[in-house]
């Protein structure tokens, strides 16, 4: 593994999975319309206009000496009364006036005219250098990334060598030996480009490398497209955002470099021969050399400085926008100030404590209500009317709407639905683990606690009303979570043993270090992993082993509730089966209630007691597992059942569900499923169905087909299976 695997910090942080932009086919660069980006664009536009028309609107030539307003100031040495030469004076720089908007320099030249001329040259050199550098880095970076092998080794080495040599000293040495540099825009730009291309090349190489293995590039290769065509048509368009960001970044560095070498007197003075160009660095150099700062002639040195700072800020702001485009995670910065004030919550919600903005008053105080007995089948976690929004106000996305769930001791509750249906959001909201801009807008989460092991709270607690410390004590010790990808769920830079240790240290403070270690070993034994593995880092374990380690961690404190969010989706089928059997065994042994979240209904049928089906943030059907499997009542459930082959039992026709999961921002009126439902009736397009019990059976469904004497299609009217649990375990 090479250390230099990271690129633009925003593009791929070395930690965890790389956050590559998920582009498919080329996408046009659409910048987020934030005020930052707008301000940046306006600044750049103004500079662009000034640079283009500056020459014509300048009142004087930048070199012209204004002798009419000349103020005699310093006697030129060797002239004057005693010397026999006529007295000559250096002019005094004049402060801004109508004749000279920005005053004059010590050479009686118009500062405003110099500034305009300088703006043009500075920007031109910066853009030209950035253009050369960008072409160079695209050529080298993309070829290295795409060709791979020896070409990659060689080109990467060149880039890394250039990156390691400090840029400014190299620039100084080269500019110093090339005396004509200042008089040739192209030469000075080329010299700057040579010292600034390497960083972008490295970024582009990394991106190309990852693009090369994407499906669409692979497909183009297989279909026999030529190499250069693939690079031009498939790869380059996807690199546009990064090239654009790099171009801005390089322009900024190139302008900085030009100003610096001019300030050091290496870019040729406008009065030398051959003459150099007026630029901001040159103005500052003259000012600095003639004590403009100390003498208080601010109109001479401050404007070029302010221009540099302003242009730099403009470019940086725009870069901000592009960074956010490349890495959307930077954008989710929480609620806007206005929204937060309206919602009456802090604009910076605590991490791991999703804010609750329920406008409904909490019902009767719950604390010390009836004591849970801890018996099988007794409710342990009750979610009532839970609603979750992303954002606040009119543009809020309703991710979970009015959901009720009850987990019972020793039972497995399945929660099914397509990805994006809100399953995970619902579960994480109950634990208040959702991150900004998520808000819990309504509901109650009642935890009827009767600890299985050691001390813990006893009685009913409304988790949405619990404070930090109360909640922290319940977390993991009473309610544990296993997430889908165990590689991402374990901290990559510390050993697995250390991750057990910090958990036990917080929740079992009375244990000594040796006792904590012994407990970790015992847990690893329970899930069948060699205790030696506690000393390993997560990346050293296989996927199945990591998920086992996660499960061992989840049962470490003998929780009452276990939330499993697609715990086996990332694993192969054999490992999946082993792990599920292990979970069932542990559940029986410890007696926790399980919430099993998955999109795979056929899997749930085998292990859940009851299944809830979710669609577009709402619960749509609830039934005992066998009943739901044998005789679904909801068209959506029917569809789900016919898109996964069952592991056992009769063969069924695979139909799938037409259309794609709904966009929560733009739900249809009526039943959210109606556009994809083959039995949709006019009513389904007008009115939202609510969950309602279905004729006497232990099931509920939210579907107009089962109401008001509508004709139920035969597929949804299969007879209720006689015995619940027949299909189950």
Partner 1 sequence: MQAVLRRLGVYLLAAWVALTVSFLLPRVVPGNPVAGAVARASQSGNCNSQCVVAIEEQLGYNVHTSIWDQYLQYVGNLAHGDLGHSWSENAPVSSLILQYLPWTLGLLVIATIIAFVAGTAIGILIAWRRGSWLDWILPGATFFQAIPYFFLALVVVLIFGQTGTMLKWFPSLFGYDIYAVTPGPNLPYIESVVSHAILPAATVILGSMAGFILTMRNNMMTTLDEDFVLVAAAKGLPARSVVWYAARNALLPVVANFTIAISLLVSGQILVEIVFNYPGIGFHLFDALGKLDYSLVQGIFVVITLVVLAANLLADVVYVLIDPRARQVA
| C-beta closer to partner 1: residue 540 or 581 | 540
- To partner 1, the closest distance from the beta carbon of 395 in angstroms equals 18
| Beta strand pairing call for 692-693 and 700-701 | antiparallel
Token pair listed for 2: 């090479």
161 is a site residue for partner 1 (CB under 8 A): yes
Question: Looking at beta carbons only, is 330 or 643 nearer to partner 1?
Answer: 330
Structure tokens at 245: 């960001």
Given the complex with partner 1, which of 381 and 640 has the nearer CB atom? 381
Distance, CA of 428 to CA of 365 (rounded, Å):
24
H helical segments located in 633-698: 635-641
Provide the mask over 16-45, with x wherever binding to partner 1 is found by CB under 8 A and - wherever it is not. x--x--------------------------
Indicate the residue among 494 and 718 with the shorter CB distance to partner 1: 494
Chain residues 416-455 in contact with partner 1, contact rule CB under 8 A: 428, 431, 433, 435-436
- Cα three-residue angle 247-229-232, rounded to 5 degrees: 10
Interface of this chain with partner 1, residues 515 to 544, rule: CB under 8 A: 537, 539-540
Backbone angles phi, psi at 388, to 5 degrees: -130, 130
What is the DSSP code (8-state) at residue 197? S
Q: Does 360 contact partner 1 by CB under 8 A?
A: no
Site string for partner 1, 139-158 (x = CB under 8 A): ------------------x-
Tokens matching residue 705: 């087909």
Kindly state the DSSP code that residue 230 receives in the 8-state scheme. I
From the CB of 80, what's the least distance to partner 1, in Å?
29
**88 near partner 1, judged by CB under 8 A:** no
CB of 358 to partner 1, least distance (A): 21
Number of residues near partner 1 (by CB under 8 A) = 105
Q: Does 341 bind partner 1 (CB under 8 A)?
A: no
For residue 512, the minimal CB distance to partner 1 (Å) is 19
Binding mask 289-328 for partner 1 (x = CB under 8 A): ----xx-x----x---x--xx-xxx-xxx--x--x---x-
47, 60, 112, 199: which one binds partner 1 (CB under 8 A): 199
Rounded distance, CA 143 to CA 228, Å? 10
What is the footprint of partner 1 within residues 223-242 (CB under 8 A)? Answer: none
Q: Name 89's bridge partners.
A: 75
Does the protein bind partner 1 through residue 472 (CB under 8 A)?
Answer: yes
CA dist., res. 407 & res. 597, Å (int): 13
Q: Measured at the alpha carbon of residue 308, what is the angle toward residues 306 and 310, in degrees to the nearest 5?
A: 65
3-class secondary structure, 134: helix
Q: How far is the CB of 54 from partner 1 (least distance, A)?
A: 21
Handedness of CA 36, 42, 48, 54 (dihedral sign): negative
Angle subtended by helix axes 543-555 and 513-526, to nearest 10: 120
Rule CB under 8 A: say whether 183 interacts with partner 1: no
Q: Which is nearer to partner 1, 596 or 704 (CB)?
A: 596
Q: Which is nearer to partner 1, 132 or 292 (CB)?
A: 292
Structure tokens at 467: 């404070």
- Indicate if the alpha-carbon torsion angle 498, 500, 505, 509 is positive or negative: negative
Ramachandran assignment for 696, one of left (phi > 0), alpha (psi -120 to 50 degrees), beta (any other): left
Minimum Å gap between C-beta 36 and partner 1 is 8
Question: Does residue 729 interact with partner 1 by CB under 8 A?
Answer: no
C-alpha to C-alpha distance for 283 and 115, rounded to whole angstroms: 8
φ, ψ of residue 401 in degrees (nearest 5): -125, 115
Instruction: Give the per-residue contact string, 589-628, with partner 1 (x = CB under 8 A; - = no).
Output: ----------------------------------------
What residues between 259 and 288 interact with partner 1 by CB under 8 A? 259-260, 263-266, 284, 288
**Minimum Å distance from CB 626 to partner 1?**
32
Using CB under 8 A, which of 47, 325, 476, 524 touches partner 1? Answer: 476
696 vs 97, 104, 630, 637, 720, CA distance in Å? 92, 94, 18, 20, 11
At 315, phi and psi to the nearest 5? Answer: -65, -40
Asked whether position 490 contacts partner 1 by CB under 8 A, the answer is yes
Residues 6+ apart with CB under 8 A from 391: 335, 339, 397, 437, 439
């Amino acid at each position: 593994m090479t250390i230099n695997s990271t690129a633009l910090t925003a593009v791929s942080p070395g930690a965890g999975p790389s956050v590559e932009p998920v582009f498919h086919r080329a996408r046009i660069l659409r910048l987020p319309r934030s005020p930052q980006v707008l301000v940046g664009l306006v600044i750049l536009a103004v500079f662009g206009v000034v640079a283009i028309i500056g020459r014509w609107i300048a009142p004087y030539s930048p070199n012209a000496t204004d002798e009419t307003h000349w103020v005699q100031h310093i006697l030129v040495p060797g002239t004057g009364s005693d010397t026999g030469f006529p007295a000559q004076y250096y002019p005094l720089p004049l402060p801004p006036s109508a004749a000279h908007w920005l005053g004059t320099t010590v050479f009686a030249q118009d500062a405003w005219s110099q500034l305009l001329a300088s703006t043009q040259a500075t920007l031109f050199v910066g853009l030209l250098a950035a253009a050369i550098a960008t072409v160079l880095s695209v050529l080298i970076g993309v070829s290295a990334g795409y060709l791979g092998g020896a070409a990659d080794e060689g080109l990467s080495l060149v880039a890394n060598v250039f990156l390691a040599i400090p840029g400014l000293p190299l620039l100084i040495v080269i500019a110093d030996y090339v005396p004509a540099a200042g008089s040739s825009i192209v030469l000075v730009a080329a010299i700057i480009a040579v010292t600034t291309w390497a960083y972008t090349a490295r970024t582009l190489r990394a991106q190309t490398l990852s693009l090369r293995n994407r499906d669409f590039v692979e497909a183009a290769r297989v279909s026999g497209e030529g190499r250069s065509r693939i690079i031009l048509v498939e790869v380059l368009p996807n690199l546009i955002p990064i090239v654009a960001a790099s171009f801005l970044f390089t322009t900024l560095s190139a302008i900085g470099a030009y100003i610096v070498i001019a300030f050091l007197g290496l870019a040729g003075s406008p009065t030398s021969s051959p003459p150099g160009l007026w630029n901001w660095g040159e103005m500052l150099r003259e000012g600095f050399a003639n004590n403009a700062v100390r003498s208080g002639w601010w109109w001479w040195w401050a404007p070029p400085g302010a221009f540099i700072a302003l242009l730099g800020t403009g470019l940086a702001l725009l870069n901000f926008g592009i960074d956010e485009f490349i890495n959307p995670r930077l954008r989710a910065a929480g609620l806007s100030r206005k929204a937060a004030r309206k919602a009456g919550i802090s604009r910076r919600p605590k991490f791991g404590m999703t804010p609750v903005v329920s406008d409904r008053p909490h019902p009767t105080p719950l604390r010390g209500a009836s004591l849970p007995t801890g018996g099988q089948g007794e409710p342990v976690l009750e979610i009532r009317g839970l609603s979750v929004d992303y954002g606040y106000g009119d543009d809020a996305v309703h991710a979970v709407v009015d959901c009720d769930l009850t987990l019972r001791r020793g039972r497995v509750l399945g929660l099914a639905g397509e990805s994006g249906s809100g399953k995970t959001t619902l579960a994480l909201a109950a634990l208040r683990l959702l991150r900004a801009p998520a808000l819990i807008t309504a509901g109650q989460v009642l935890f009827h606690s009767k600890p299985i092991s050691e001390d813990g709270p006893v009685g009913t607690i409304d988790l949405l009303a619990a404070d930090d410390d109360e909640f922290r004590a319940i977390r993991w010790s009473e309610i544990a979570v296993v997430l889908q990808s165990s590689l991402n769920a374990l901290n990559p830079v510390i050993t697995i043993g250390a991750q057990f240790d910090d958990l036990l240290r917080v929740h079992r403070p009375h244990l000594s270090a040796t006792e904590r270690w012994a407990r970790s070993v015992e847990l690893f034994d329970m899930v069948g992993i060699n205790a030696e593995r506690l000393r390993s880092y997560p990346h050293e374990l296989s996927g199945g082993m990591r998920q086992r380690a996660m499960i061992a961690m989840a049962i470490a404190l003998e929780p009452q509730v276990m939330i499993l969010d697609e715990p086996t989706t990332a694993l192969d089928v054999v490992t999946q089966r082993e792990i599920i059997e292990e979970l069932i065994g542990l559940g029986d042994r410890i007696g926790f209630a399980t919430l099993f979240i998955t999109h795979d209904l056929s899997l749930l049928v085998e292990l859940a007691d009851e299944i809830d089906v979710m669609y577009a943030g709402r619960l749509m059907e609830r039934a005992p597992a066998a009943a739901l499997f044998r005789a679904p009542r909801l068209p959506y459930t029917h569809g789900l059942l016919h898109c996964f082959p069952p592991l056992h039992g009769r063969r069924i026709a695979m139909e799938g569900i037409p259309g794609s999961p709904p966009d929560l921002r733009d739900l249809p009126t009526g039943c959210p499923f109606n556009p994809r439902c083959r039995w949709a009736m006019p009513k389904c397009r007008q009115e939202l169905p609510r969950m309602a019990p279905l004729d006497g059976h232990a099931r509920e469904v939210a579907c107009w087909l089962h109401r008001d004497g509508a004709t139920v299609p035969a597929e949804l009217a299969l007879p209720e299976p006689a015995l619940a649990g027949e299909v189950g375990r």
